[in-house]
Amino acid sequence: MSVPALADPATEPRTRDELRWRRRSLAALLLLVPLALAVASYESLRSLLRSDDLENRWSRCKVMLVDTEGHTWLPASIAGLRLLEGMMGCNSAMFSGAKSGDVLKLGETFIVPGYATSGIRAAVGLGSERPYYLRFARPSA
């Protein structure tokens, strides 16, 4: 019993139907790929269109310290060390239910070398405005 040999698709001539379906598939891809990207990024586009509402961007909030040379320090997690009364971190602020115009007291814990403390200042990054959305000047003492 012999097994019939399979035709090699690379050497076999293409039929009109095959060429027609290939063109249809390419045309469908040109339509479906941008549509799929639009559907996948719908929430991001919706929040960009409502850019005056910062509540949607708190999910990507990042508090940091920046020195005069551009070095950045992110918050540290130290066991047993708590924030002061009435302060919350970015993640807590996200779920606080704050409305437009509300004042939030954000606090974080940082470990910074002593030589950098003279020119350091706080900065907050939100969503696509990273690395800095808000930069705070040092109070003059």
Interval 119-137: pLDDT, tens: 888 888 776 655 656 777 7
59 belongs to a structural domain: yes
* Of 16-30, 78-92, 108-122, highest mean pLDDT: 16-30
Per-residue model confidence (pLDDT) at position 31: 92
pTM, entire model = 0.49
User: How many structural domains compose the chain?
Assistant: 1
Domain that holds residue 117: 53-135
On whether the CB atoms of residues 110 and 102 are closer than 8 A, the answer is no
What integer is the mean pLDDT of 24-31?
92
Of 138, 139, 134, the closest CA to residue 120 belongs to: 138
Residue with tokens 């479906």: 32
44 belongs to a structural domain: no
Question: What is the C-alpha separation between 99 and 81, in angstroms, rounded?
Answer: 29
What integer is the mean pLDDT of 41-59?
62
Bin 86: left if φ > 0, else alpha if -120 < ψ < 50, else beta.
left
126 belongs to a structural domain: yes
